[in-house]
């Protein structure tokens, strides 16, 4: 009998939570924490179109042909997460494709992060988004980051602040940047 009471209370609490909208966000959709991650649309709320960038007008190495803009998106760098991740207003969290910098607590972390702060923070960022894989498993946009025409991914490698990290599929060959 005691087990039945506990079960009944549990069911009532869950029902109240569901009916009160506890599991819903302000838009009436399931919270991301309990939503099916396979149905998450990472293209939602990003400041670039959902065009299929895998088209024949692309050149093999530099991105777009002269008839297209070289960049897929642009925005203001509002925050530097670490040496290979930034937040860009209107676009979202950006992961520098093809490179990997040291993590917090590892040698070189501060130098890589400081370099990205110097190069990107508070500036207009231009992005060439990876046509073969737009997002990583954390939902970050995979892109080559440009500031004033300079390929910042490549600069990280040239300054030995990062290592090449090629994860196929990718339109970019980071080995060509070294």
Does 91 fall in a domain? yes
According to the model, what pLDDT value does residue 19 have? 61
How many domains does the chain divide into? 1
Does 32 fall in a domain? no
Does 14 fall in a domain? no
pLDDT tier at 18, thresholds 50, 70, 90: low
Query: Exactly one of 2, 4, 38, 140 is catalytic; which is it?
Result: 140
Percent residues over pLDDT 90 in the chain: 60
CATH number at residue 165: 2.40.50.90
Query: Exactly one of 2, 103, 137, 155 is catalytic; which is it?
Result: 103
Residue 30: pLDDT over 80: no
CA triplet 41, 44, 47: central angle to 5 degrees?
140
Does 4 fall in a domain? no
pLDDT tier at 70, thresholds 50, 70, 90: confident
Does 144 fall in a domain? yes
Residue 135: pLDDT over 90: yes
The parent domain of residue 118 ranges over 41-177
Determine whether 95 is an active site residue.
yes
Determine whether 104 is an active site residue.
no
Does 156 fall in a domain? yes
According to the model, what pLDDT value does residue 14 have? 72
């Amino acid at each position: 009998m005691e087990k039945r009471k506990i079960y009944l209370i549990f069911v009532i609490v869950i029902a109240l939570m569901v009916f009160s909208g506890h599991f819903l966000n302000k838009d009436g959709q399931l919270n991301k924490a309990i939503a099916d991650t396979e149905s998450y649309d990472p293209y939602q709320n990003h400041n670039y179109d959902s065009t299929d960038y895998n088209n024949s007008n692309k050149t093999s190495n530099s991105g777009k042909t002269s008839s297209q803009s070289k960049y897929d998106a642009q925005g203001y760098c509002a925050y530097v997460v670490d040496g290979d991740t930034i937040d860009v207003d209107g676009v979202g969290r950006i992961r520098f494709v093809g490179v990997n910098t040291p993590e917090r607590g590892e040698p070189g972390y501060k130098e890589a992060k400081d370099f990205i702060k110097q190069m990107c923070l508070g500036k207009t960022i231009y992005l060439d988004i990876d046509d073969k894989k737009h997002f990583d498993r954390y939902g970050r946009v995979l892109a080559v980051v440009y500031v004033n025409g300079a390929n910042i991914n490549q600069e990280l490698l040239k300054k030995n602040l990062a290592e090449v990290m090629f994860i196929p599929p990718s339109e970019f060959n980071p080995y060509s940047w070294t």
